Amino acid sequence: MSMRFLKDLVARRIAGDIVWSEDPGAVMRKWREVFRVSQISVARRMGVAPSVVSDYEKGRRLPGSRFVRKFVESLLAIDERRGWSTVKELAKTMNLNVEAIIDMAEFDEGVSLDDLITVLKGLVLTSEVPEKKIYGYTVLDSIAAIESMKGTEFHYLMGMTTERALIFTKVTTGRSPMVAVRVSSLKPAVIVIHGPRKRIDVLAIRLAEKERIPFVVSLHRSVEEIVSSLRSLAARRSYGGFSSSS
């Protein structure tokens, strides 16, 4: 389970809830209470007086994006010290099956497919490499995905946009990931596989050609190298999520 993924997903959900509300102060108070955090605690973490938090919650001030971000980050930082108890509860209420997700992030700026392939030490197996921008990635444990994910959960893998790379690790031949994409109504911008123990299935490549999705094999030695290279790329592209080293 990737706590970085969970943290980012929950953070975006909370921030969006606050910003989209007609009464952002009331929603701030709701989330503070959900996390069981006092005004004094969150204010101390934010470096402001408790009266400032009170003013926002009572609608005497309207929070801007920076204040909302700092508020959400403070709630998450406090929850981290408690072992992520509230974040894990929220993940369950969202019906998230995250066991298959190793890492997941969005890019603030589009990354060219060529740059992504370079970072992943990728070898393109399909005949066409269209000029397109990639706006996120999801790294999956393909075995866990096959064993535990329901078809209705596939859309969670797409994050904020389908213009992303789906990276399947622990792949045997590449057929299963491509079949899963073939039958889904949502299509990623690029499929990347890692760790094939056998010759890559010709059918997988043929299906990718039919879907007009670039099919790439990463030559990185380990999953850790893949995640590290993607996080470095995200950092260079001014990753706008709620970052974590966990």
* pLDDT classification of 96: cutoffs 50, 70, 90: low
CATH number at residue 8: 1.10.260
CATH number at residue 123: 3.40.1390.20
Instruction: Judge if 86 and 109 occupy the same domain.
Output: no
Q: 198-243 pLDDT, tens per residue? A: 789 999 999 999 999 999 999 999 999 999 999 998 887 654 443 3
**Res 37: pLDDT:** 97
Which residue, of 61, 93, 125, is where some domain finishes?
Answer: 93
C-beta separation of 153 from 99 below 8 A: no
Instruction: Judge if 88 and 163 occupy the same domain.
Output: no
Instruction: Judge if 134 and 155 occupy the same domain.
Output: yes
Mean pLDDT, residues 50-69 taken together: 96
C-beta separation of 166 from 157 below 8 A: yes
Asked, for residue 244, whether it belongs to a domain, the answer is: no
Which residues form the domain of 79? Answer: 3-93
Instruction: Judge if 16 and 43 occupy the same domain.
Output: yes
Asked, for residue 164, whether it belongs to a domain, the answer is: yes
Give the angle 185-157-171 at the CA atoms, nearest 5°: 95
Instruction: Judge if 67 and 35 occupy the same domain.
Output: yes
Instruction: Judge if 82 and 188 occupy the same domain.
Output: no
**What φ, ψ does residue 50 adopt, rounded to 5°?**
-55, -30
What letter would DSSP give residue 123? E
Instruction: Judge if 114 and 77 occupy the same domain.
Output: no
**Res 240: pLDDT:** 44
Which residue, of 93, 114, 142, is where some domain finishes?
Answer: 93
C-beta separation of 192 from 166 below 8 A: yes
Strand (E) or helix (H) holding 139: strand 133-141
Q: What is the mean pLDDT of the chain?
A: 86
Strand (E) or helix (H) holding 215: strand 215-218
**More confidently predicted of 196 and 120:** 120
Mean pLDDT, residues 164-189 taken together: 88
Q: Given a cut of 80, is residue 57 above it in pLDDT?
A: yes
Q: What is the dihedral of CA 52, 55, 60, 64, to 10 degrees?
A: 50
**Res 106: pLDDT:** 85
Instruction: Judge if 199 and 80 occupy the same domain.
Output: no
Mean pLDDT, residues 107-117 taken together: 91
Q: In total, how many domains does the chain have? A: 2
Mean pLDDT, residues 178-183 taken together: 85
Asked, for residue 245, whether it belongs to a domain, the answer is: no
- Report the side by side order of strands in the sheet with 122-124: 101-112, 133-141, 165-169, 190-194, 215-218, 122-124
Mean pLDDT, residues 9-13 taken together: 86
Instruction: Judge if 182 and 125 occupy the same domain.
Output: yes
**Res 2: pLDDT:** 62
C-beta separation of 49 from 43 below 8 A: yes
